Amino acid sequence: MSEIIIAIDGYSACGKSTLAKQVAEHFGYLFIDSGAMYRAVTLFALQNGCVIDGKVNEKALVECLSDVHLEFKKEAGIPRIHLNGLDVEDEIRKGQVPNFVSQVSAIKEVREKLVNEQRAMATLGGVVMDGRDIGTVVFPNAALKIFVTASLEIRIERRFQELKAKGIVVEKSEIAKNLNERDYIDTTRIESPLRQAPDAIILDNTQLTKEEQLNWVVTHVKSLLNKNLS
Ligand code: DC
């Protein structure tokens, strides 16, 4: 076993994507941000009249799901999501997308489509994928499963800084409200709720620097690979 699948799950704004990117770069693996895929479908829903009076029209969205084509294309080594040929990596982080993404990702047909695509992307070898159901549903046999947690305060601060760096200014109270709502929907939905896989290891990165959290994962990956060699 030389190239493995690493599943990284956890709550919103815990730094999963940052960690997944770091780990993928370190090992030369493919990084897949599954949340970006749910966000891109949400953007599609907003652009195509599938959100009415603050509610996602499930039936309308399901009917046009076959018109949603997602692809990751690398720019400066970092994969960016494209929706029907257009780079939407920045657009999916702002506007109304964060407010509706949990509703969209609770739809069974949306999940089926994206889970199939996620599995298809991982057929070529080493992959680091982050999301909510990667270790439980997408890759239940992943060699390494990590469940990331962090305090709510640090999650708010990280999301605030991430948005600020992109020139997007949002009140921290607004971020807290959005994270609480998404945590609630993500953990209580019927379809593939956010759960820690029984064989996942927990990484609480509240007090860790980016370098420390990378070292933590690298140590686990190396010991796993060594165990399989011996
Ligand atoms: O990781 P993120 O914050 O970009 O994810 C956006 C939303 O997508 C999140 O609120 C829940 C949903 N999601 C999901 O349901 N399953 C995944 N594998 C990834 C994300």
Question: Tens digits of per-residue pLDDT, 129-158?
Answer: 999 999 999 999 999 999 999 999 999 999
Q: Percent of the chain scored above 70 by pLDDT?
A: 99
Has residue 168 got a pLDDT over 90?
Answer: no
d(CA 165, CA 179): 19
- Total domains present in the chain: 1
Query: What is the rounded average pLDDT of the residues 17-46?
Result: 96
Q: What does the pLDDT read at residue 230?
A: 67
Euclidean distance between the first and final Cα of the chain, in Å?
Answer: 11
Q: Is the CB of 105 under 6 A from ligand 1?
A: yes
Q: Distance (Å, rounded) from C-alpha 109 to C-alpha 171?
A: 34
155 C-beta closer than 6 A to ligand 1: no
Cα separations (Å) of 41 from 68, 98, 105, 116?
Answer: 7, 12, 9, 15
| Rounded distance from Cα 132 to ligand 1 centre (Å) | 6
Q: Tell me the per-residue pLDDT of 193-218, one tens digit each, with 9 for 90 and over.
A: 999 999 999 999 999 999 999 999 99
Residue to mutate, 31, 32, 34, ligand 1, most ligand atoms under 8 Å from C-beta: 34
Classify burial at 130, counting beta carbons within 10 Å of its beta carbon; exposed 0-12, middle 13-18, buried 19 or more.
Answer: buried
Q: Would the CB of 189 count as within 6 Å of ligand 1?
A: no
Using the predicted structure, report yes or no on whether residue 1 has a pLDDT greater than 60: no
The whole-number pLDDT of residue 110 equals: 98
> Mean pLDDT throughout 76-85?
94
What pLDDT does 83 receive?
98
Calculate mean pLDDT across residues 152-165. Answer: 93
Q: Which of 9, 11, 38 to mutate to test the pocket of ligand 1 (most atoms within 8 A of CB)?
A: 38
Average pLDDT, the chain: 94
Residue 124 confidence (pLDDT)? 78
Task: Give the domain range for residue 223.
Answer: 5-229
Is pTM beyond 0.75? Reply is yes
Pick from 22-36, 108-122, 157-171, 211-225: least confident? 157-171
pLDDT tens digit string along 95-127? 999 999 999 999 999 999 999 999 999 987 799
Strand pairing report for 144-149 and 5-10: parallel
Q: How confident is the model at residue 226 (pLDDT cuts 50, 70, 90)?
A: confident
Top-confidence residue, 1 or 198? 198
What CATH number is given to the structural domain containing 222?
3.40.50.300
* Residue ID of nearest Cα to ligand 1 atom 13: 35
186 lines ligand 1 (CB under 6 A): yes
